[in-house]
Copies of this chain bind each other. A is one copy, B any other.
Amino acid sequence: MSSRARSKPAVRPGGRSARVQQAVHAAVRELEAEQGRGALTVPAIAARAGVTPSTIYRRWGDLHELLSDVAVERLRPESPPEDHGDLRADLSAWATQFLDEMGSATGRAYLRDALLGDPDGSNAGQCSAYAAGQIEVILDRARRRGEAVPGVETVMDRVVAPMTYRILFRPDGLSPQYADDLARSVLPPAP
């Protein structure tokens, strides 16, 4: 039976529900920052957030789904990618920054969390959509400048996917140079 927890807990958006969700998310971030991952248990998070454990279990199902939610929130880009004036520079800068952030120990942990507690794949899908969104902004700008641009899917396959794969499966030996090489590989050959 029973009780599949909803991955998108926004069931009653306003009021108490929202406050609880906010408090719980904040508690996760604070506890992790202060005491590390080992301290992240549902009872500890609940105590910190001022709610009872059963509230968390009912809304999120288990610890991993909660962490997955928090991870996705943290992986959401805070601002559109910087504009450097041309596609090559934009893509290269974005890829370099992506690899730097996601390739760090904490970035990798968020990526894994997002994948981990994600029965239906919607959280992972969200992460991917974030990246695709950022890339679309970059490509749109270039298109408006009159540059020749690759498709979003091409960039996902040739830039985002290789970086993400290596971050998850072969975390050693990643360099900004690698990100840059990938970014260049989707551009038309230099003049």
- Chain A residues proximal to chain B, CB less than 8 Å: 112, 115-116, 121, 124-125, 127-128, 156-158, 160-162, 164-166, 168-171, 182
Q: Is there an interface contact between B168 and A160, defined as CB atoms closer than 8 Å?
A: no
Q: Is there an interface contact between A115 and B161, defined as CB atoms closer than 8 Å?
A: no
Q: Is there an interface contact between B128 and A170, defined as CB atoms closer than 8 Å?
A: yes
Partner of A161, one of B128, B161, B171: B161
Q: Is there an interface contact between A124 and B157, defined as CB atoms closer than 8 Å?
A: no
Alpha-carbon separation in the docked complex, A168 to B128 (Å)? 10
Taking CB atoms, residues of chain B closer than 8 Å to A166 are 161
Q: Is there an interface contact between B125 and A170, defined as CB atoms closer than 8 Å?
A: yes
Rounded to whole Å, the gap between the CB of A14 and the closest CB of chain B is 31
Rounded to whole Å, the gap between the CB of A51 and the closest CB of chain B is 26
Q: 13 A-B Cβ contacts within 8 A?
A: A115-B116, A116-B116, A124-B170, A125-B169, A128-B165, A128-B170, A156-B162, A157-B158, A161-B162, A161-B164, A161-B166, A164-B165, A168-B168
Alpha-carbon separation in the docked complex, A170 to B125 (Å)? 5
Rounded to whole Å, the gap between the CB of A161 and the closest CB of chain B is 4
Partner of A160, one of B125, B127, B128, B165: B165
Q: Is there an interface contact between B171 and A157, defined as CB atoms closer than 8 Å?
A: no
Taking CB atoms, residues of chain B closer than 8 Å to A125 are 169-170
Taking CB atoms, residues of chain B closer than 8 Å to A156 are 162, 165
Taking CB atoms, residues of chain B closer than 8 Å to A112 are 115-116
Rounded to whole Å, the gap between the CB of A153 and the closest CB of chain B is 9
Alpha-carbon separation in the docked complex, A168 to B165 (Å)? 10
Q: Is there an interface contact between B116 and A171, defined as CB atoms closer than 8 Å?
A: no
Q: Is there an interface contact between B169 and A127, defined as CB atoms closer than 8 Å?
A: yes
Alpha-carbon separation in the docked complex, A182 to B161 (Å)? 12
